Amino acid sequence: MQARPERMIPVAELTGWDIETDVAVLGFGIAGACAALEAAWAGASVTIFEAAGGSGGASALSGGEMYIGGSGGTHVQRDAGFTDTTEDFAAYLTLAGGPDPDTAKIALYADQAVAHFAWLQEQGVPYKGNFLPGKIIEPEGDDTLIWSGSEEAWPFYTKAKPAPRGHTIQFTGWGGGRKLMDILEARVRAAGVTVHADARGRALIGDNGAVAGVVVRQNGRDITVRAKKGVVLATGGFCMNREMMRMHAPEALRCSTPLGTIDDGSGILMGQAAGARVIHMNEFFVTCPWYPPESLVKGIFINQAGQRFINEDCYHGRVMRTAVAQPGDKVWLLADNAIFGRPMEMARAELAAVGETWEEVESELGFAPGTISPTVAHYNEHAARGKDPVWHKAAKWVQPLAEPPFAALAFTPSESMFSYFTLGGLETLPTGEVLDLAGAPIPGLYAAGRTTAGLPRWGAGYSSGLSLADSSFFGRLAGRRVAARG
Amino acid sequence: MQARPERMIPVAELTGWDIETDVAVLGFGIAGACAALEAAWAGASVTIFEAAGGSGGASALSGGEMYIGGSGGTHVQRDAGFTDTTEDFAAYLTLAGGPDPDTAKIALYADQAVAHFAWLQEQGVPYKGNFLPGKIIEPEGDDTLIWSGSEEAWPFYTKAKPAPRGHTIQFTGWGGGRKLMDILEARVRAAGVTVHADARGRALIGDNGAVAGVVVRQNGRDITVRAKKGVVLATGGFCMNREMMRMHAPEALRCSTPLGTIDDGSGILMGQAAGARVIHMNEFFVTCPWYPPESLVKGIFINQAGQRFINEDCYHGRVMRTAVAQPGDKVWLLADNAIFGRPMEMARAELAAVGETWEEVESELGFAPGTISPTVAHYNEHAARGKDPVWHKAAKWVQPLAEPPFAALAFTPSESMFSYFTLGGLETLPTGEVLDLAGAPIPGLYAAGRTTAGLPRWGAGYSSGLSLADSSFFGRLAGRRVAARG
């Protein structure tokens, strides 16, 4: 038996089942954990197979932040003085979904996100409950609520009333995702879910048009797993699979750092082998932590033509996705002495030029005379009145770059810390049912997280916490649905 | 039997074969015609099934122009004084292929394109043999050789020595594609190929991992076609299938005019149902005939930020693909009295503002003061010395826009004539063999033309004649390969 993700194995080829379970979950990131929990609570026997040595996946690499709002606001939002209607939340998610938002998932999540937040707390995920203002990437302390997207930035605020929606697990410093996964892992084990680590899903097993199980590689041999109710694919995206990146999202290969653990696309391939469609496979998230210090948001980014290309106060990932789409191999952030501060070491930005005049900076960067300096002059002229008529940066981030010395920081996707992961994948119903090429659910096959195209599906619309929110919420729905299968 | 492209029908479900042939070709555009010809000449019995009432497909809507060069040049290129090495030709095709060029197809085509041109002439395709200089979209007369890509434009000329490579069929006016298809149809019929019109491929028939035939809808009933050597999918792209456009290339839906006949993606879906991979599904060609008059190339395009975004002398489709990627819903072409001329009526450009000064135009367009005027001032300052240091437009297209009155022409993707077709599709070997999810050929399945991702696979790299060249050349190879199958 040659087991590989790209081929579904007919049950007739098997000599027997090594393991039987109601529900087999592939992947023990947050999507798999939440699917397993709900399926187990609904009475199904559940087995998780995780290719790595333990739980976590890319979820454990994250900040442990969830994008949550609507229903008037979470108690944290309300305590901080923010109301957040379901309509505004849905409107924001729709903009964030780009040219093809998933309206069914948006409607459901916008309506139920606050209840999902309560559920997370019931699982023991702690939240300090305070609001941390400012323009930050992740709290350095153990704070909860932050502005984690483009809510206050043009054009988003014109369509959806802004509210901060990033809810961060109580954890001091960056990287609360590990703690989040530890808590959920404990809940999964308490629910009686069987967990196999170092167990990699190799191929689905098909029986007359339905998915009947999965072949798993463990301890050097292939074992056959009968999944009586179904298989949940939650193996993440494909940022670590260069061949898939080449085929679908070659633009991302300009960037230095795939952000994942295994993320080899095997879940997507297994789904395709079962007849599933894939959508938006070219889309990816990318960012570079170009601030803190937040004063740099008052700077302006330019491309190789000396032109601005975005309002710098929108979400850092939106800024950097747009930066990667610019011609040339790098972009520059221009700052004056009043706002300058070195970005974090990890950003690997280069101080490319310093000068007493913008003409000097221009020349030192090797630009033609009059390429950068008029861009700054025009920006400064309007900034003196708190305006940015071209890109609509909000007034509080707009001030003339007029205090020498002046500096240009270079950000190079291939060299600086540009980390990316994929957003395209299997198309699913909100219930996690995987759709075939004709748009009909494939019996016995479910998926969640970045194996699917979910709420986050447009690189220029990402907000921190959107993938964890999508993966956990729709992971839960997938778990409930598979457990209910007859 | 429910026959639909998204599901391959197992041969066991059939009650018998209605038609038997060695090779079944789906689609009678240029890819299908060339595949059928070579297969028939190799001794196979060949049957073409075309969903429309007759031959042509999108090929017949084209200008009948082929992108040909290399090997020192065609006789037309050489007579006009151009040499064109295989290396330069391959280098250009590589740039045109974007971030994931198909190096195997490029190497083969660069080497054999001149021989392919001779083959076309042997089939009776007439070429006047002259060179028509200038910046044109298609000859208005019956001329042959034109500059049909971005060869002389930055950055292409920096990597590949320019030569004109658009070889147009002898035909007075636009639209020689119909004549080209009439000639090839006659050759196909002379070769003894059976042609069924009004016969739509509905589903492939599979037999133990191989493609064994196809179900075709004809006269209101489904007929089963046994294809003993194989099936060639040549049904075009998917620009007319809004659901597929939504899933894969939603950005193109901003544009007004899908350029196709049937192009419903059915060939791609049939391939996927047989286990094929799809690649670069987000890529599309788009253009708007913003010139003639060619003097407009001396104008400058700006986006809603008042910024230029491309060297206007590159291929019109590259200009317009970049225009569609700009923020906002339109772009403007700025021209002065010295170069102004109305674009063709069919372009549906709007004369959006006229003024005695650029400030007046800026105001009339509703831009903030200082948004457009400095862009023009900066352009003019360098243009006075024949330079474009920002976007590198070639000197012959650079002159100050300084003679009033000044004008802005608006081009709106959703309203002007922005026509598009898709470039993503099945991944094939140069032989037309369709690759499965694991990258191995699927026995009995071949494809060519826009059902595949071929030489044209990057919207910003398209050149006129590239799709016809790819479809005809690799269609021929597919026909030879399928005929040679045991």
The tokens for A42 are 């609904």
The closest CB to that of B247, out of A277, A368, A374, belongs to A277
Classify residue B447: in a domain, yes or no. Answer: yes
**Percent of chain B surpassing pLDDT 70:** 100
In a domain, B150, yes or no: yes
Q: Are residues A365 and A307 in the same domain?
A: yes
Tell me, yes or no, whether A379 and A423 share the same domain: no
Q: For residue A3, name the pLDDT band (cuts at 50, 70, 90).
A: confident
Q: Minimal CA–CA distance to B245: which of B235, B257, B233? A: B257
pLDDT at B146 over 80: yes
Residue A2 domain-assigned? no
- Shared domain for B365 and B389, answered yes or no, is yes
Burial A148-159 (b: 16+ CB within 10 A, else e): bbbbbbbebeee
Compute the average pLDDT of residues B143-169.
97
pLDDT in tens, A149-194: 999 999 999 999 999 999 999 999 989 999 999 999 999 999 999 9
**Residue B217 belongs to some domain of the structure:** yes
If asked whether residues A240 and A270 sit together in one domain, one would say yes
What's the domain count of chain A? 3
CA atoms of B485 and B22, how far apart (whole Å): 10
Q: Which of A306, A377, A439 sits opposite B390 (nearest CB)?
A: A306
Residue A360 lies in a domain: yes
Alpha carbon dihedral B4, B10, B15, B19, in 10-degree steps, equals 70
Q: What digits encode the pLDDT tens for the residues A270-302?
A: 999 999 999 999 999 999 999 999 999 999 999
Domain boundary among A125, A146, A168: A168
Q: B193 and B47, same structural domain?
A: yes
Percent residues over pLDDT 90 in chain A:
96
Distance from CA of B119 to the nearest CA of A (A): 32
Spatial contact of A88 and A233, defined as CB atoms under 8 Å apart: no
Q: How far is residue B371 from each of residues A250, A362, A378, B305, measured CA to CA in Å? A: 34, 20, 8, 7
- Rounded average pLDDT over B229-249: 98
Q: Please name the residue that has the structure tokens 């298989």.
A: A231
Specify the 3-state DSSP secondary structure of B118. helix
Cβ–Cβ under 8 Å, residues B361 and B336: no
**Average pLDDT value over all residues in chain B:** 97
Question: Under a CB-based contact definition with an 8 Å cutoff, are residues A286 and A252 in contact?
Answer: yes
- Assign A374 a pLDDT band (cuts: 50, 70, 90): confident
Rounded Cα distance between A65 and A34, Å, is 16
- Residue B3: pLDDT band (50, 70, 90) is confident
Q: How far lies A442's CA from each of A228, A231, B126, B181, B268, in Å?
A: 14, 11, 53, 42, 20
| CATH code (residue A46) | 3.50.50.60
Question: Min CA distance, B188 vs chain A (Å)?
Answer: 34
pLDDT band at A373 (very low <50, low <70, confident <90, very high): confident
Parent domain of A317: 289-411
Same domain, A433 and A379: no
Helix (H) or strand (E) holding B358: helix B358-364
Q: What is the pLDDT of residue A336?
A: 98
What's the mean pLDDT in A324-330?
95
- Predicted local distance difference test score (pLDDT) of residue A368: 86
Q: Is the complex ipTM higher than 0.90? A: yes
Q: Which residues contact A195 (CB under 8 A, 6 or more apart)?
A: A28, A47, A48, A50, A55, A185, A188, A189
Give me the CATH number covering residue A366: 3.90.700.10
Is B246 within 8 Å of A307 when comparing Cβ atoms? Answer: no
Give the 3-state secondary structure of residue A233. Answer: strand
Among residues A125, A141, A168, the one where a domain terminates is: A168
Considering the domain architecture, whether residues B117 and B188 belong to the same structural domain is answered as: no
| Residue A459 three-state SS | helix
Cβ distance of B370 and A391 shorter than 8 Å: no
**Nearest C-alpha of chain B: how many angstroms from A425?**
11
The confidence band for B373, taking pLDDT boundaries of 50, 70 and 90, is confident
Concatenating the DSSP letter of every residue in B407-458 gives EEEEE-TTTS--EEEE--EE-B-TT-EEEBTTSPEEEEEEE-GGGB--S---
Question: Is residue A416 within 8 Å of residue A332, measured between CB atoms?
Answer: no
For residue B102, which residues of chain A lie inside 8 Å, CB to CB?
none
Buried b (16+ CB within 10 A) or exposed e, A117-127: bebbeebebbb
Sheet holding A284-287, edge to edge: A257-258, A419-422, A284-287
- Final residue belonging to a domain, choices B126, B141, B168: B168
B319 and B276 in a single domain? The answer is no
CB contact under 8 A, A247 and B390: no
pLDDT tens digit string along A204-262? 999 999 999 999 999 999 999 999 999 999 999 999 999 999 999 999 999 999 999 99
Q: Are residues A332 and A220 in the same domain?
A: no
Report CA Rg, chain A. Answer: 23
Confidence of residue B1 (pLDDT cuts 50, 70, 90): low
Instruction: Report yes or no on B370 lying in a domain.
Output: yes
H or E stretch covering A211: strand A210-218
- pTM, 2 dp: 0.96
Residue type, A117: F
Instruction: Please check whether residue A432 lies inside any domain of the structure.
Output: yes
Kindly state whether residues A305 and A403 are assigned to the same domain: yes
| Chain B interface test: which of A241, A309, A388, A420 (most B C-beta within 10 Å) | A309
Average pLDDT over residues A130-140: 94
- Are B39 and B181 in a shared domain? yes
In a domain, A326, yes or no: yes
Cβ B288 vs Cβ B418: under 8 Å: yes
**Do A430 and A294 lie in a common domain?**
no
Which residues in A lie closer than 8 A to residue B10 (C-beta atoms)?
none
One-letter identity of residue B451: T
Q: Report the pLDDT averaged over residues B327-334.
A: 96
